[in-house]
A and B are shown apart, each in its own frame.
Chain A
């Protein structure tokens, strides 16, 4: 039998691009690029009654208050720009008003840029381990303002940690903690991140 008319053995691939386009558009539409970045926080353990705050500790507490109208009060002084909080918090944490022996070692290990922030004011914090940053909001405070202020408080600590090991706050945060355990520990020794989120007040109402 003679071979008949030879038909082309190739598969027509002209529409391949169209099929691929269709798939591409499907994936473009159905998927979202996840943004899994955020501000971390460790909540305090649950207790039946809130622990009483001692009067003598007052100077070791850095008070940040935000009311239902999103107005801020830092250490009993009204402030209008949340960015001011970072500097004030750093000065408070690094005050070293009445350091004990361990705290003195911490102080001596600080780089000059952080030492210069230490005002040794007897009315401010004794040393970083004792210093507590207390952040109290109202039930009517907006979440946006809460995050803005919390961000500034975290920034204060991260900038201190970063400066201790010669990094910026960003570099410190994005450092691989498992690989740089020693560095991470060195940045944090003697200066724990004492951010306390107080139960919000109800004075400003819950709003609408």
Chain B
């Protein structure tokens, strides 16, 4: 009666044949649910919390404007700046950007252009208000302030 005799001869291997399938499933999930980002923000982007959030209805009508302190302080300084399409611009150039974005839309949708303002938490209202004034001048009056959902009330 040997004490050290193995009791059974069952295989100790876990079958790994299905592993690639599982990984592929994960891969497809990520490929489908994510979108490659269009712009690389050159300014700091941390958003405020809010409760009354709405979703964007039609993505093709939305253009993005980023506002925040530049990440590269040596090059652009410490003051908050406006960024569109990977470049930092002055507020006088906003109207031009709006018109370019509007030209991309169909005739019937031109007035429905929505500007998504991605403004950093630490920005002061001065620059935001200047930006909004320029948008009003350019008659782009639908805006959406990006904000994060706040936890529990």
Q: In the complex where A17-B16, A38-B145, A206-B126 touch, is A24 in contact with B52 (Cβ < 8 A)? A: no
B43 at the interface (CB under 8 A from A): no
Q: Hey, which chain A residues are within 8 Å of B142, CB to CB?
A: 40, 42-43
Q: List 18 A-B contacts (CB under 8 A).
A: A31-B30, A37-B53, A38-B53, A39-B50, A40-B143, A43-B142, A44-B141, A45-B141, A138-B125, A139-B125, A143-B121, A146-B125, A147-B48, A154-B52, A155-B52, A169-B52, A200-B125, A207-B124
Q: Hey, which chain A residues are within 8 Å of B146, CB to CB?
A: 35-38
Contact with A along B132-153 (1 / 0, CB 8 A): 1101110101111111110000
Of residues 42 through 68 on chain B, the ones whose CB sits less than 8 Å from some CB of chain A are 47-57, 59, 62
Q: Hey, which chain A residues are within 8 Å of B36, CB to CB?
A: 30-31
Contact between A142 and B23, CB atoms less than 8 A apart? no
Contact between B20 and A39, CB atoms less than 8 A apart? no
CA distance A26 to B151 in the complex (A): 31
Q: Chain B binding site: helix, strand, loop or mixed by DSSP?
A: mixed
Contact partner of B54 (CB less than 8 A), chosen from A37, A138, A141, is A37
Contact between B124 and A142, CB atoms less than 8 A apart? yes
Within the complex, the shortest CB–CB distance from B43 to chain A, in Å, comes to 13
